[in-house]
Amino acid sequence: MTTGFWHQVEAVVHRDLLRERRRGDVLWVTIPFGALALLLVPLAIGTDASMLRDIGVGMYWVIVMLFGVLVAVGKASRETLPQQDASSLLGLDPAAGFVGRTMSSAILLLAFEAVVGVVAVGLYNIEIIGVGWLVLTLFIVAIGLALLGTLTAGIVNSTSTGIALVPLLVAPLSVPLLLGATQSYDGLRYGNAIISWVSMMMAVVIVVSMIGVLTARPLQES
């Protein structure tokens, strides 16, 4: 593999998406499970329409955060040690591998957000406000979660506990994304400025991507 950085990224994204098309883990397992979770919540806490409308956005983002981790976990469990060794021997730049895996995860997470979002709007009667900001938030959260998931999957890869540790690591670290996403919606709803929340999420994305790219090689060598 002697191609440039972005060609390597493209190859990794293509490989991951092809693998997903063959296995359908996100499409046939994670997305239906997320939609089912949204259906179960009102059965447990009550079916009052106005209450569900109030908590709907928050529930949606919680489901995205928790089930988004499953996307990262699934990808980590598929990447075996011999496959990683083969990629290294082919000359895959670890940073390109990290960016590629992150991009493919982000694409899958966007699909998850879109489908589960439609279900949440339908079940909880959520009001859609500020479409532009909403789409931007969806993109930032998908990229941020994908970055955290890929980075932590790289950290725990081939350890004794392995992927079981990923949710414990990703869930608390994704709190700034959860806060940013929910507070942005509240800001739009009550006519407040949301730029500070969007900036906070962007800052998380920038910091985690820098850490991920810079530590890709030492993590691979470990």
* Between 110 and 200, CB nearer to other proteins: 200
Would you say 145 and 72 are in contact if contact means Cβ atoms under 8 Å apart?
Answer: yes
Comparison of 1 and 175: residue with beta carbon closer to other proteins: 175
d(CA 94, CA 9): 10
Using CA atoms, how far apart are residues 21 and 86, in angstroms rounded to an integer? Answer: 22
Place of tokens 């959860």: 178
Name the minimum Å distance from CB 158 to other proteins.
Answer: 9
Chain contacts with other proteins (rule: CB under 8 A)? 151-152, 154-156, 159-162, 165, 168-169, 171-173, 175-176, 204, 207-208, 211, 215, 218-219, 221-222
Q: Is 159 helix (H, G, I), strand (E, B) or coil?
A: coil
Minimum separation from the CB atom of position 102 to other proteins (A): 14
In the complex, the smallest distance separating the C-beta of residue 161 from other proteins, rounded to whole angstroms, is 4
- Cα distances (Å, whole numbers) of residue 1 to 85, 213, 221: 13, 19, 19
Place of tokens 């191609």: 3
* Tokens standing for residue 72: 């990262």
Q: Least distance from C-beta 213 to other proteins, angstroms? A: 12
Smallest distance from other proteins to CB 172, Å = 4
Residue 131 has, within 13 A of its CA and on its CB side, a CA count of 0
Enter the tokens of residue 2.
């002697």
| Alpha carbon distance 93, 103 (integer Å) | 15
**Minimum gap (Å) between residue 40 Cβ and other proteins:** 23
Cβ-based nearer residue to other proteins, 1 or 214: 214
* Structural contact between residues 11 and 55, judged by C-beta atoms closer than 8 angstroms: no
Nearest to other proteins of 115, 155 (CB atom):
155
C-beta closer to other proteins: residue 71 or 178: 178
Q: Given the complex with other proteins, which of 134 and 171 has the nearer CB atom?
A: 171
Helix (H, G, I), strand (E, B) or coil at 92: coil
